[in-house]
Structures are given as structure tokens and as C-alpha cells.
Structure 1
Amino acid sequence: MKLLTAAALREKDVRKRLFAVAVTALLPGIGLLTYNELASREERRVEVHNQASQTARDAAAELDRVLEGAKSLLIAVSALPTVVDLDPVNCGTSLKRISSNLQMTGAILVIDAERKLVCDSQGNPAGVDFSERTYVNDGLTADADTLVVGNYTVSKLTGAAVLPVAVPLIRDEAIIGVVATAIRLDWLQERMAERDPTGRATVILADREGVILAHAPHSGGLVGTKLPEALSSKVQAAGFGTLETTGLDNNAQTIIAYRPATPVLPVFVSTGLSSAEAFSSINRTTWASLSMVLLSVVAAFLAATFVGDRFILRPIYRIVGVLESYKAGSLASRTHMESTGSELGLVGSTVDSLLDELEARRAASALSEERRSLLVGELRHRVKNTLAVVTAIARQTFPRDERLSSFSQRLSALGRAYDLIFAGQEGKSEAQIADIVRAALAPYEDDTEPPFQITGPALAVQPEGGLALSLIIHELATNATKYGALSEKGGRVLISWSSANGRVSFSWQELHGPPVAKPERVGFGSQLIGRAFPASYKPKLDLDFAPDGLKCTIEFEEEIVLGMPPHSS
């Protein structure tokens, strides 16, 4: 079963195609998931950037409130008489009473124009020199009610890390010193952390030099260190902005929003949101989508393997097997598939209908062939009986002499010629051209003076071609007897054939007969000569009505058999 074997060999290819079809069907869904994934991530990225920016603004606003509170405190302190009078004994007591209720500051200082400590809230001795402190020098030249914010500083009095702030101390419209305090960085860090109870956002405060003042919710020892290059380059930026970089504490990818230090508020504020946390929900959705895609691909593979085998390959093999069985001779083989089951069921049902029709036609053809064979046999019997009757009548009518014997022999030859024709009708095997010619011309032979010269190689033609050639020779001989070379004493006919390039060339040439003229109309004999060969032989006929005798040349294609000795007579 060559066809069935070929189908089995292509089974893997069929499954691959089914799998490809299933995966192709998934592609629009995969494309939509991909688009939604990219769109969701871009939307989330913009949302996180906006959220980080808002958090940075909230942190900056909170820092503004802290500094504004420090400013109000210092302005109120600068209005105390003991402070304005630079009374080192009484101002210390006043400052201590005020600072006892404050958590954000470690100490309140009053420093004169000589940059010397006058008094403070912790009772330190007067005279400590603050001339190297920038915020003191800036405070002595600042406008009234202006808050001067310093940089990261380690307190000279307490040794703690602080953010110093100061306002000018004015008496009689003249600056006579500064009132300063130090905002505790640990308190500032806790204050920033309170802005985000979830602890998801990271807040970083830094001075104008890029030194970290606070890192909430946990410092991790970063306070007092320099900002990384990615952030330090933004300290003096033109305005609010966002960027994506690694965090300071864990090197994780972070989305950061920042507000640069300004002359009004010389503190750099930045907030960061972890990219992993920000995209965690989308990442979970992505993994869920990928899992669904993977499950879909596995389902497609299983469908291509099992469903395809059950509903496609098996029906196909069933149909192919029936066709192979029918081809091998099992004419009753059928698929017995229902046309309502599936598309392949419809194909199987149609194949069954086709085989039923072919079987019906085969039976009808066999019956017709049987009847035709019966009619051919009957015709053959009747023709031979007719020839026998003619022979008997001739014997009873004419005296028994040599002419009657010759006449009887010719009738017998004519009967053998008809046998050859009927043999072709009955589907006999191939025949030699020489035998066909000899049998067809036997009725016209003359023992005393043979009228035919026959030459040609040993060529065998199929029954259909042999029958056509026999009919043509018989018609040519009949016409030659009536009108041509055989109608007169001494007439001759040259018969020859040859083969080249898969074509047979047969020649009939009459000599020494009466003058020949082309007939005015085409009779049945001429039509028979022109149409005897089927079109599949690609015949080519040439009739030359030359005055000295008819010449007929016939070419046709035929499978010929070589190898026999050439014939000549």
C-alpha cells in the first residue's frame, strides 16, 4: 500500500502543520497580550513617575514647614529683651526654658557680631568662637526676618549631626548678631519617614554641597555621605525632574523624583520608589499571562497530537486504506463514514458514493462488453457463413476447373482477412505488420503473377493500430481492383514500411495501371482511409493521385516491437 505508506511517513509533518495552525490561531491573542503588557507598563511607568514627583513635592512641603517653624522660633527668640540686650546671664535662662519643650532642636544659640557665643539653651560658657561657621557669617549679612540655612554640620557644642539655621539679630535697625539653632538630623529623618507610613518611598535630603542630611525610612549609615553622581548632578538643576537609577541602600532599580536646592530653600529633596515594588502587580499579571500562553501552547500541542490523530489522521488513513483496497481488487471495500459527522466524514461518504458509482459503471461496462463480444462473434459467424454459401453456390454453378479453385482460395483468404479484423475487435495481442499486410492482400493474390511487392522490417503494432492498418489496406486493395493497378493485367503495387523517431511510415504505390484522376467527391472508402486510425496515434495521410498510379503514405505513432528479421516478398 504505497499511498498508505506515504501518508504514514508524512504523519509527523501533518502533526507539525496542525501544531502550526493551532499556534497561529494563538498569535492574535499573544499579540494582544503583548500590546496590553507594553501599554500597561508604560502607563504604570508614567504613574510611578508622577507618584514619585508628588511624593517629592510633599517632602519638600514638609521640609518647608519644618524650616518655617524653625524660622518662627528664631524670630520669636530674637524679640526677647534678654536676647536683644545680649545679656549672657539672663538670656541663657530664657533660652533653656524655651528649648525644653522642643524636640527638633538640640540647642538655641545667640552669637554676637564678633562671632562669639553670648549664650545658649544648654548653659555652655560664653565666648566660643563660631567665625568658621558659614551660616553665622551669612546671618550677619542677611536681610531682616530671613532664614539662613547652613550645610551638614557637626555641632561644636554637642557633637551631633545637625542642620544649622539662623536669623539676624537686630537692634535699632542694626544687625548685632545672629540667633541660631540646629535641627537634629535624626528627628528630621523621623519626620520625613512619617510622611509615608508604608515605608515604600525613600526620601533623601541633602545640603547644597550634596551631603546627605536624611535618608528615610532608614539611613543605613548614609547620613553625612555624598550623594552618588546620578543625584549630585541634580542638586543645582533648574527644576523638578525624574530619573531611573539604582538606589543608595540596595542598588535596586529605583524611580527617583527630585527638587533641586534653591536660594530660598537650599536643601535638595529626592524621593524614590522601587521599580520592583511599583511593577509587582504588573509582573504578577505578566507571569500569569505567560503561564496562560504556555498552557495554550501545550494545549495546542496536545490537540495537534491527540485530537488531530483522532479526528483528522485516522479518517484520512481510513479513506486512503479503502482506496488502496479498491485498487488492489477489493471492490466491496468502503469507508462507511457518515456525511453528518465531520468534513472528513463527508469526504469519506463521497468516496463511498464514487466507488458505488464506479462499481455500477464497471458492471454496466462488463455487460456491454459481453454483449458486444456476442454481437462480434455473431457477425463473424454470419460473414463466414456468407462466404461459405457463396463458395458453395460457385461450385454448383460453375464447372470444376482451375478458375473455380482460384476463386475458392480467394474467398478463403478474404475470410482469413476478416478473422484478423475480428481478432482486433476481440482485443488480441500485437501483430506483425507483415502478417497484417499479407492477410489483408491474400484475396487479391495471383499465383501465376503476384501483383504485390512487399518490403519492410519486422515491426509489431498493437491490436487497435493493426485493425486500422488492415482496414486501410483492404480499402486500398479494393479500390485498386476496381479502378487502379489491379484492374488491368500486369498491374503492380509496391508496399513498404519503416520506423523512425517513434513513428511508423507505411507506403502504398500503384504501377502499370490505367491513368488515375482525382475523384470529384470523397467517397466512403476515402473517408475510411482518413479516419481509420484513432487520434491518439497522431496519424498523417498523404494521397497522391498521380497519372501513373496512386501513391498513399500513412504515418502514425505506435509502440513497436523490433528484433525480428526483415520481411521481403
Structure 2
Amino acid sequence: MPRLPLRAFLALGLGAAGLAATLVLALVVSRVAADRLSERIAGETGDLARHVAGQLDRTMFERWRDILILAENDTLRDPQAGSEQKRRVLRRAHETYPDYAIVGLIAPEGRIAVTDSGRLEGLDVAHRVYFTQGRQGPFVGDVHDALLLATLQPGRDPADPPRVLDLAAPVRTPEGALAGVVVAHLDWAWSREVEASLHDQASGGRRGVEVMVLARDGTVLLGPPALRNRVLADLPSVAAVRAGAGGATQETWPDGRVALTGYQPTRGYRDYPGLGWSVLVRQDAAEALAPVRALHRQILLWGLAVAAASASAGWFAAASLARPLRRLALAAGALGRGTPLSVPESPVREAQAIGLALSAANEALRQRAEERRQAEARQELLIHELNHRVKNTLATVQALARQTARGADSVPAFTAAFEARLLAMSQTHMLLTASQWSTTGLRRILELELAPYASGRPERIHLDGPEVGLAPRIAVPLGMTVHELATNAAKYGALSVPEGRVVVRWTLADGLLRLSWQESGGPAVAAPERTGFGTRLIRTSVERELAGTVALDFLSDGLLCRLTLPLERSEAPEPQAA
């Protein structure tokens, strides 16, 4: 049996070992990378579907709100107003949002009384769903063919009628009697702009991303032309979204594509109930996993290069090993001959170098272990801090809910008050998050809370004071206090009338923050007979949580509220650059 020389043996062995290791590494890395990338992209598509569904609900809410506002128009509510006056109102509504196909007012008996263009007036639509439902309350109907409107468009193919969404709301006289039903047909051509907008938001520059909107029965309303108007009933994502769930999955579509699909049902927005639509965002799996394939090729190419380098290194390393071995073989061959042996010296210096290298490596490992221990300690501290903040926040929310419920006269009143207070707390939390929960500016909190009440007139609200940085424990209660003062002013005080004005001044001296809230130009105020929840919340936030003082003076010109808060030494005036 032929024997390989040492040089060839080491070269082949090192090259084969390098190639085998590369192949194994490529397989493992590709699989792990593919799994993690699939999970990440699936999660992103689910998030995109949730975002798009919310955007779609808010877009439809705008149209829903248009009709509700139109139904409250004084001209339409006045039975004595002439048809031309009402037509001008409807025409302005149509001009405000041109995607309406037609806007009209239906008389209580079911005949179209007036439209924005004068078309279809006098037509009996008493049997139409939008009229029968619109008499009872606000109504929105799903996409359907508008056969009647097709007759008003000369040259239009009757087999291809326009598609519309119906929006309707009752119009009542000041005495509460039914004056008619205002109705608008939203042209489905509007969907092309919505589709382009939703696609731009969802793709984010990524290739192969498609957005679809499905009706309640699974029909594709918006999406790729090949799937439009098809009913998707067998997809796992459609089944899940019909059950009211949202998420992401990988599935095979009817067009044969394997895709990562995010799905989310629309749930309406505020008082808009929604139409039961579903949003699907899919990305072709081949496109999504293209980076994994590129990584796999790179690993193989680098593996081949490493294998070749290993074989070359083995070839040259074998030469340095073969020489002392040959000398030892010659020396061993001289045994028993009586001749002196020439034995090569042991490479002690190299052994010492290896020992020093091992010592250096051991020290490096020890340092790495210490760094990891410190990192774990920091992480544990952050987790404890997060738990503490979450518990405090939940306790605050629980107290808000309980106290708001005690003072609410009805469920809608409770919901409105509770949501407003949660929003005030969340706005302050948003500022603190932006500053990584270090400090946030007092002026920024005041601007954020009072901006909605300026009504486009900056002179209504005046802020005067130095820059002050507040720690989270002060920022959140103070933000809630300002929200309660602003809400009270908007309901009963200076901000409830156009000429009203609010001046907020504050000073910082000797570790004390003194803030005054002065209202003027509003209705005459008087001290309330009983203490409401808003006043209790202000006193609890300032006196109990912040160890400060509150003084409320109900002056004839408006409320005057003075707050005094002790600040820690670390809470100093912010630098001007902040």
C-alpha cells in the first residue's frame, strides 16, 4: 500500500477539514439566519398590517365625521330654508372632498329633496338601505355597484357601473323632529389613491411587499390586479382574521406564491363602527429570504478560499515538521553502531511562547467574564427599575379609573374623562421616553398640554418662566395637574369662550418651583359647592405625591391657581440649548 508523504497528508487533511467545516457552518448559519429572518419579517408584516388597518379606519372615520357634521348644519335642519340654500351647503361639502360621487338630502317620506348638482331630485329611494338605516342613526354601507348613478354618466358601459360606499345620517330639526336624511356616495375610485398610500407606507422601500383590503366576506377590494374581486376563503390568514385575530404566518396563496403574510382586522375608530374589513400584507418568501441565500453563497466562497489557504499552509508547515523528524530518524538509525548521536534540541522557546499565549488568553477570558457579570448586573437593575415604573403607572391608572368612575354620570362620560386623563399622562410619558427618563422641560409639558386649546390663536395662552428640567416623579403628576386645569378652563372657564385667555408664570428660587395659573376674559366663576374629582386629583398630585401646596382662588375675572413644589438639587434649570 503506497504511503503518502507528510506534506501531502497535512495539505489534504487541512484542506478537507476546512472545506467540511465551511459546509457545516454554511448549512447551520443559513438555517438559523433563514429562521430568524422569517420570524423578523413575519413580525414586521404583522405590524405593518396593524398599522395599515388603523390608518384605513382613521381615513374612513374622516368621511364618517364629514357626514355627521353635515347632518348638524343649521341650514339643512331648518324646514323653512329653500332648496337653493341647502344645495349650496351640499355643494360646499362635495367641493371639500371631491371623491364623493353625489351628496344629497332625502325628505322624511323617502324622496330625494335636493342634491349638490340637482340630479336625481324627486326620485323615490324609500326602499334603499341607506335611507331606512339612516333614519335611525349614522350609517355606513359596504362597497356595491351604483346602478342608478351609471345612468347619469353618458357613455358609461352599463355592465361596468361605478362602485360606491354609502354614508348617511339623520337630520333633525331644532325641536328634534326628523327633517330628512343626508346621504353621500363615496366613489370607489378613491380607493386607488388609498391603495397607493397604503402600499407606500407598508413597503418602506422593501421589494415584494403587497397590501390587500378584504371585505367582510373575504372578497379582495384592494390589492394586486390578479387577485382583485376574488374571494379568499381558504387561506389560514383569512380564517384567523375572520375570527378577530391579528398576527403573521407563512402560507401558499391561490396564485402559487409562498409568502410571509401579516393580517389584521379593522375595528373602527372612535364612534365609526367599521365595515368588518381585513388588511393583509404579504411579502414574497423568496424576496424576503434573498439575503440568506446571498450569505450562503458568500460563506461557501470564503470556505473554498479558507480550504485552499489551509492546504497551502499545511504544505509549508509540513516542511518545517519533516526536517526535525528526518534528523530524528537518522539519529535513531545510528543506534547500536557506536557512533555519536546527533539529537535535535527540543523547541523549549516555542513551548514557553505557547504558555505565555495561554496565560494571555486566560486573562482575556477572565476580563470578558467580569464584563459579562457587570452587564448582567446592569440589566437586572434596569429590569427592577422597569418593574417599579410599570407598577407605579398601573397604580396611577387604577386610581384614575376608580376616581373617574365615582364622578361620572354615565359610561360615555366616564370613557371621555378617563381617555383624556390617560392621554395627558401618556403625553408626559412620551416626553420622558424621548429624554430616556432623565428629565424633561416644564415649558415643553405646558406647550404639549395647552396646544389643543389655542384654537390657532397663540395669544390665548401665554407662558412665562425660565427653563426648568423636571424628574419623572414630578413631570407625570404635574402634567396631570395642568391637564385638569386646562380641561376645566375649556369646559367652564376662560378657554370656553373665544375672548378668554390663560397666563401661566413660574419662578425657581431656593429649591422651590412656584407656578401660577391665571384665567381672564371668561365667564364669571364662583367657588363650587362640592369638590370634584379634578380638584381632588390636583391636590393629591401636588400635595400628597409632590409634598407641595395648592391655592385655588375663584376671582371674578377667572380662576387663579398657585402651586408651590419643592425640587431636588439635581433638578436645576435646563441649559438654553435644551
TM-score (norm 2): 0.46
**Which one has the largest radius of gyration?**
1
1 or 2 for the larger relative contact order (CA 8 Å, sep ≥6)? 2
TM-score (norm 1): 0.46
